[in-house]
Amino acid sequence: MVTQVKHVLGDQELHRVRELLASAEFRDGRLSAGPSARQVKNNEEVCSEKTISELNRIVMGNLVRHPEYKIAALPHRVAVPFYVRYTQGMAYGEHMDDPVMGEDNRYRSDIAVTVFLNSPGEYEGGELVIGTPFGRQAIKYPAGDAVLYPASTRHQVTSVTGGERLVAVTWVQSLVRNYEQRDLLYQLGKTREKMLRKYPDSEDSQRIDNVYLNLVRMWSGT
């Protein structure tokens, strides 16, 4: 399941994020990669803890409160993100994310998340390409939007041929480990929300509500 989460960040928030990134100190992104990914990774990541803390307040603060993110991810744990820059010639070759991440606080990487921090018109190339059961899907969303997809899929970032690509990247350990179950819950949850909003007192709404809540209870685990 590849899910677009729209309007995680508004214009004012994006402006402040861009200010912070413009003055940030970056380091080689390969320093944070696992042995396999290190061979194909070519980008840069913000390394100042003070800047990362301020970026987290804005970016992650908005992401974790976003209702679409909550229903799609059913988050249990979320990782501290990387704030990543790709300049001309940089790319991230095809790879799969490590299944377990973190050092002191280990977590399972069920869902990968990319938040787009600048407009697709500001760079050429740099598409996020995700392998899905229906073929490869190339993604280049507007600034402020995010994409959620199973971390178990092979994916890559194509070479940036002009401009600069800015993103935040993080991972989620979901309450529901199986992505097919998460997909069913996402579809059912969207219908549940619509029914409860339009017909809060109907028997059908209550029935869907009961089924959704009990499936989450049945399938949840850590």
Structural domain boundaries in the chain: 3-174, 179-219
pLDDT band of residue 190 (cuts 50, 70, 90) is: very high
Give the CATH H-level superfamily of domain 3-174.
Answer: q2cbj1_9rhob like domain (2.60.120.620)
Residue 95: pLDDT band (50, 70, 90) is very high
Taking the mean position of all CA atoms in its chain, how far away is CA 193?
Answer: 22
194 three-state secondary structure: helix
Tokens read off for 135: 């073929």
pLDDT tens sequence across 51-83: 999 999 999 999 999 999 999 999 999 999 999
- How far is the CA of 173 from the CAs of 29, 102, 182, 220, in angstroms? 22, 12, 12, 11
User: Which of the four pLDDT bands, split at 50, 70 and 90, describes residue 144?
Assistant: very high
Bridge partners for 136 per DSSP: 131
Q: Does the global pTM surpass 0.85? A: yes
> Model confidence at 38, in pLDDT bands (50, 70, 90)?
confident
pLDDT at 222: 66
Q: Of 96, 92, 100, which Cα lies nearest the Cα of 151?
A: 96
Asked if residue 88 has pLDDT above 90, the reply is: yes
Is residue 58 helix, strand or coil? helix
Q: How far apart are the first and last CA of the chain?
A: 20
Which residue's structure tokens are 């059961």? Answer: 133
